[in-house]
Amino acid sequence: MKIRHRLGLSFSLLLCLLFAIAAVSLSRISNLNTVTHTLVQVQVHRAFFAEKAIHYAEKAALCLVNLLKTIDKKSRVPLYAEMDAALASSDQAVEAIRETLKEPGQQAALARLTKLRDDYDAEFRETTDTIEIADVKVAMAYFKSHTQHSLNALLKGARELADDQQHQMERVLADLSRAEANAERLLIVLSLLALLIGIGLAWMMTRSIIGPVALAAGVADAIAKGDLTREVPMGRQDETGQLMQSLAIMRDSIASREDKILRLAYEDSLTGLPNRTRFIEIFKQLPEDQKGAIVVLDIDRFGAINNALGYAVGDRLLSLIGERFVAAANQAILVARLWGNEFAFLLLGAEADGARDFADSLLLMLKTPLILDGQRLDVGATLGVVVFPTDGNDAAILLRRATSALRLAKKRRVSYLFAAGVSEELAHENLSLIGEMREALEREEFTVYYQPKLNLTKNRVTGAEALIRWQHPDKGLVPPYRFIPFAEQTGFIRNITPWILILVIRHAAAWRRAGLEVTPSVNLSAYDLLDANLIGYVRALLEEHGLLPQQLCLEITESALMEEPDVALKHLNEFSKLGVKLSIDDYGSGQASLAYLKRLPVDELKIDREFVTDVANSPKNGAIVRSTIMLCHELGLSVVAEGAENAAEIDWLRTQGCDQVQGYGIAKPMPLADFLTWLSRNFV
């Protein structure tokens, strides 16, 4: 039986008992009220009429006595009338008593009282008749001998009747007291019975509810403490059973959600591989003396695959690659996906040679093309390797060092590098400078210096390279090599480049309005070159300030071109269509091939200072610079030699047909005001 049914039955039973108690109480009280009312009414009436009968009998007797004392007949007339009225009233009182004495036990007393009244009435009449027939003295004698005796008997009978009624009233009151006591005892018994039944029902309900609830509370407490294996008793088929079933469902749901959360926290949802958090946790569980290696792998040109085939194909590609990695791994190797297109491998017991062999095997495995939807995909990768405990014992540090080695390997265009051969680039001082760069940009602490580019054919300055400087309030002038590399690594260069473009285009427009035909050059980083929004931004700035596109030069380093060559080439073509002059900076310091150079839509090539320095005295440098000038001219490119330090180098470059020269041999970088002053005095 369900709890609600048991509760309903229990309360119904209690209500019936209370109703019975109320009904008995009302019945008893009603009976007592009826009896009391009857008793009071009858006895009061009897006593009243008995006293009335005595009163009028005595009054009639008094009138008779007065009549006996009156000699004059005329004087007796009013006394007769008064006497008759008294007798009539006495008869009425006796008759009223007769009406109240209906009980069988009262008939004898009523007959006796009637006889006494009749006897008194006969004697009374006889006395009055004697007064009129004989004389007063004879009537007086008869009154004393007969009538007085009958009157006393009548009065005595009436008083006895009143006394009898009094005794009867006392008996009835005693009966009423006993009835009241019985009713009280009955009410007490019924109340105790209701109390006992209520206690019994409460105990039964408590036992049927509190016990299961206590069990449920214990289960809930166990679940709250994380014990999801606690058995849940099902109980009866009532509300407590439903509660237990709900607790079981809740426990299973929580266990399912925790399992899902655990998977999300430690498992990559795309590939099903452990994620970075799980990788680090497993590493922390290794013994302190454990030896091994960590290999971090980055899929090359994965962004191009996403752009060309869509992110859905890219995700499927990552899943397929993850399956290959798992198939190639053994029990001593843990495979994890760190993020994006980066994977990590934990090699237990491996040393440098073992890690190198494993890296080679990964690269060899990736040479096998992947087929997706009939599309053949050739995938390459770059790796960074660390060996522990040689390179450290902290998982986060080891991953960071392996990633740094991977990034450097990409720049050097090699398949993999060991972190042992890569120096730590992020010193504490430099990290603090990175944290201050955003505030420096807001406080306008950055400024632009201009270094002139001398046109050797026209012998005047036709260009100037814009170089950023940081005027730090505490550290003074911070050179660019101290913060630009880290701005590029952190991506903050994307905030700096728009700022310097605004400033330089504004300056160039002012120069043109003043009749100064000097084309400024602005350096773009790899991040900038991969930003598709930068093209529209430059176009809008040029239109806003009224500067023609060909009156602005953008310089791109070889390393920036090599980061994502396809994307870089696409954006360079868009800049070329816009009409902006393009220049390759630091040519010769990277790995750009001549075939790739032929495809670039550039207008200018800047020979790195490494080859220009002492070019007049170094045959090898001279040969490289001379051949580069000839090649560029054949390709329709102008040539700028940077790093010219003296007049001998400048003269040599002029004789070799170099178009422009830049370096301390011409002028060092200067603030805008100094640059304009210098320009007005030299090579204009």
CA triplet 565, 571, 574: central angle to 5 degrees?
140
Within 329-394, where are the H helices? 352-366
Backbone torsion region of residue 185, taken as left when φ is above 0, otherwise alpha when ψ lies between -120 and 50, otherwise beta: alpha
CA distance 541 to 520: 14
The answer to whether 351 and 291 are in contact (CB under 8 A) is yes
Asked if pLDDT for residue 622 goes beyond 80, the answer is yes
Q: In which band, very low, low, confident or very high, does the pLDDT at 427 lie, cut at 50, 70 and 90? A: very low
Asked if pLDDT for residue 681 goes beyond 80, the answer is yes
CA distance 171 to 261: 90
Chain segment 23-70, per-residue pLDDT in tens: 766 676 666 666 665 655 666 666 677 777 777 777 777 777 776 777
Q: 446-455 and 460-472 as β-strands: parallel, antiparallel, unpaired?
A: antiparallel
What's at 647, amino acid-wise? A
Nearest Cα to Cα of residue 547 among 585, 582, 584, 516: 516
Q: Phi and psi of 384, rounded to 5°?
A: -125, 135
Tokens 């009055």 sit at which residue? 128
**Over residues 441-446, mean pLDDT:** 88
Token readout for 616 is 């007049």
User: Virtual CA dihedral for 55, 61, 64, 69, nearest 10 degrees?
Assistant: -110
CA distance 446 to 500: 9
CA distance 81 to 87: 10
**Over residues 361-365, mean pLDDT:** 89
CA distance 197 to 17: 9
Chain segment 276-320, per-residue pLDDT in tens: 889 999 999 999 889 999 999 998 888 777 777 777 888 888 888
pLDDT, position 667: 93
* More confident of the two residues 253 and 572: 572
CA distance 348 to 360: 17
Nearest Cα to Cα of residue 376 among 385, 367, 363: 367
Nearest Cα to Cα of residue 642 among 607, 675, 615, 669: 607
Q: In which band, very low, low, confident or very high, does the pLDDT at 177 lie, cut at 50, 70 and 90? A: confident
Angle of helix 493-513 relative to helix 428-442, nearest 10 degrees? 50
Asked if pLDDT for residue 539 goes beyond 90, the answer is yes
Taking CA atoms, 307 is separated from 315, 384, 674, in Å, by 12, 25, 47
Nearest Cα to Cα of residue 484 among 536, 448, 430, 428: 430
Chain segment 579-588, per-residue pLDDT in tens: 999 998 877 6
Average pLDDT, the chain: 80
Is 677 strand, coil or helix? helix
Q: Which residue segments constitute the domains of the chain, with CATH numbers given?
A: 3-198 (1.20.120.30), 276-421 (3.30.70.270), 436-681 (3.20.20.450)
Tokens 């009532």 sit at which residue? 238
Cross-strand pairs, 469:
447
pLDDT, position 523: 93
Other Cβ atoms closer than 10 A to 130:
21
